[in-house]
Amino acid sequence: MGMTMTQKILAAHAGLDSVEAGQLILVNLDLVLGNDITSPVAIKAFQNMGKKEVFDKQKVTMVMDHFAPNKDIKAAQQCMMCRDFCDIQDITNFYDVGEMGIEHALLPEKGLVVSGDAVIGADSHTCTYGALGAFSTGVGSTDMACGMAIGKAWFKVPSAIKFVLKGKLHPYISGKDVILHIIGMIGVDGALYKSMEFVGDGLASLSMADRLCMANMAIEAGAKNGIFAVDEITKAYVKEHSNREPVVYEADADAVYEKVYEIDLSEIQHTVAFPHLPENTHTMEEIRNMDEIKIQQVVIGSCTNGRLEDLKAAAEIMQGKKIAKHVRCIVIPATQKIYLEAMEAGYLKTFIECGAVVSTPTCGPCLGGYMGILAENERAVATTNRNFIGRMGHVDSEIYLASPEVAAASAITGKISAPEEVL
C-alpha cells in the first residue's frame, strides 16, 4: 500500500520502511517549539521529570511572541521563566523582544524548518510549516516537555485528504480566500486528525506566503497537519533561508486518501468567515446582497497574514486614502525583518498616513491578549485565523476573518468591502 507525503515523513523519522493510517509510532524530532504562554508549563513538566539537559540545544526553540513586549506582571514572569531556562540550557534559538517575531513567521524566515522535517510545537498553528513540505503539528505543553527531554514524540499516523489545485488566482485574491473557501466547504471538523495534502498545477499560482497562510489554517478544519507538495517555489525559498539540505517526499501513486477534492483557483472569490466559526463563510457577492456590516476595528497581521506580501497588498489598497473615522486599524508586521523591509519599502508610511497604527511583532489581538481588545457589540475584520466567541475580547463582539486585501478595503469604507470598491 502506498503512502502519502505525511506518512512518508513519519515513517522515515520513525526508522520504519512504511506506516499506515491509525498506526502508533515513536518519531524522532527535528525541532521542538514553544512560546511564552506554553513554554512555562513545559519547563515545569521537564523539571518534574528530573531532566537536567534538553536533548539538543539547537533543536529546541522558544519565541516570546504572545504577550511580548510584556503586557502585565504575569506575562513578565512567564517570559522571565523562559529566558532563565534558555540561558541555563544555552538554547541556540531563543527569540525575545528586539529579535523575535510571531513564531510561525519567524521560524521559516530563520531557516529553522526545511522540507522533510518533523516538527512539534506547543501552539496549534505549528501546522504552518507544512507549506515547506515538512510534517509539523501542534501539541500540548507536556508533549513539548517530552520532546525537549528525549527528542521524540508519539503519533497516531493520520489518514489524508487530497486537494488537487488547478487554475490561477485572480488579482486581489489570495491564499486566505482559498483556505477559507475550503474550510467553508468541508467544515471545522472536515479534516479531523487528518493530513490535508495540497498538490496540482495550481500550486504555481500560490506564493510561499499564500501556502504558509493555508497550511497555518489547516487546524481550523480540524486537521492534524497541512502539507504542500515541494516544487521549485519551495526549493527556492528553503535555499534562500536555510543552509540545511531539504529532503523531498512525494506521495506514492497508489497512496490512499479518504477524499479527493479538486479546486479551481480561478473560481475562488473574496471570501469572509462570519462569526463565530471559520466555516461560516460568505463570498463578497453574497455579502453585497446583505445589509452593510459596519465595523469598528481592522487587524492586519498575525502568523496567518503578517508577511511582507500581505503588508504590500494592504498598502497598495490604502495608498493615498484615509481610514474611516469610526475605525481603528492596527497593522502588525510578523517579524522584525518584515517590519524593516516594510519600512524601507514605504508601506509603514502609507499605513500611518492613512490613519492606521503599526505595532511591534506580536500575537497580541489575535487571541484577545492586548493591542486591540474588542468591546461589547464591536465588530472587527481581521486577517487572523480564529473568530470564536470572545476570541478578540468581549463575548458579545464579532470577528470577521478575511484576506489583507479585504481587510484594507474594509478599513477605508468602514464596512466589509472588496478591494475593487476602493481602487
Residues 256 and 278 in one domain: no
Residues 19 and 168 in one domain: yes
In the chain the first and final C-alpha atoms are separated, in Å, by: 52
For the domain that residue 386 is a member of, what is the CATH number? Answer: 3.30.499.10
- What letter represents residue 185's amino acid? M
54: pLDDT strictly greater than 90: yes
Residues 219 and 354 in one domain: no
Please give the pLDDT value at position 212: 98
Domain termination residue (choose one: 265, 296, 316): 265
Q: Could you tell me how far CA 161 lies from the centroid of its own chain? A: 20
Mean pLDDT for 7-29 is 97
55: pLDDT strictly greater than 90: yes
Residues 383 and 405 in one domain: yes
Residue keyed to cell 538554547: 91
Phi, psi for 263 (deg, rounded to 5): -115, 120
Beta strand pairing call for 271-273 and 281-283: antiparallel
Is there a contact between 229 and 133 (Cβ–Cβ < 8 Å)? yes
Residues 194 and 276 in one domain: no
| Residues 300-355: tens digit of each pLDDT | 999 999 999 999 999 999 999 999 999 999 999 999 999 999 999 999 999 999 99
106: pLDDT strictly greater than 90: yes
| Residues 78-103: tens digit of each pLDDT | 999 999 999 999 999 999 999 989 99
Residues forming beta bridges with residue 31, ordered by sequence position = 119
Residues forming beta bridges with residue 2, ordered by sequence position = 255
Residues 167 and 253 in one domain: yes
1: pLDDT strictly greater than 90: no
List Cβ neighbours of 286 (8 Å cut-off, separation of 6 or more). Answer: none
Domain termination residue (choose one: 202, 237, 265): 265
pLDDT-above-70 percentage for the chain: 100
How does the average pLDDT of the chain come out, rounded?
A: 97
Mean pLDDT for 175-201 is 97
Per DSSP, which regions of 9-56 are E strands? Answer: 24-28, 31-35
Mean pLDDT for 394-398 is 97
Residues 218 and 322 in one domain: no
Helix/strand/coil for 350: helix
Total domains in the chain come to 2
CA pair distance 183, 222, nearest whole angstrom: 10
Residues 315 and 410 in one domain: yes
415: pLDDT strictly greater than 90: yes
**Using CA of residue 54, residue 58, residue 61, residue 63, what is the dihedral sign?**
positive
Domain termination residue (choose one: 265, 294, 313): 265
Residues 235 and 340 in one domain: no
Maximum distance among all Cα pairs of the chain, rounded to whole angstroms = 62
Please give the pLDDT value at position 40: 97
Mean pLDDT for 102-122 is 97
Is there a contact between 174 and 205 (Cβ–Cβ < 8 Å)? no
Residues 44 and 102 in one domain: yes
- The parent domain of residue 358 ranges over 272-421
Please give the pLDDT value at position 158: 97
Residues 277 and 237 in one domain: no
Residues 373 and 351 in one domain: yes
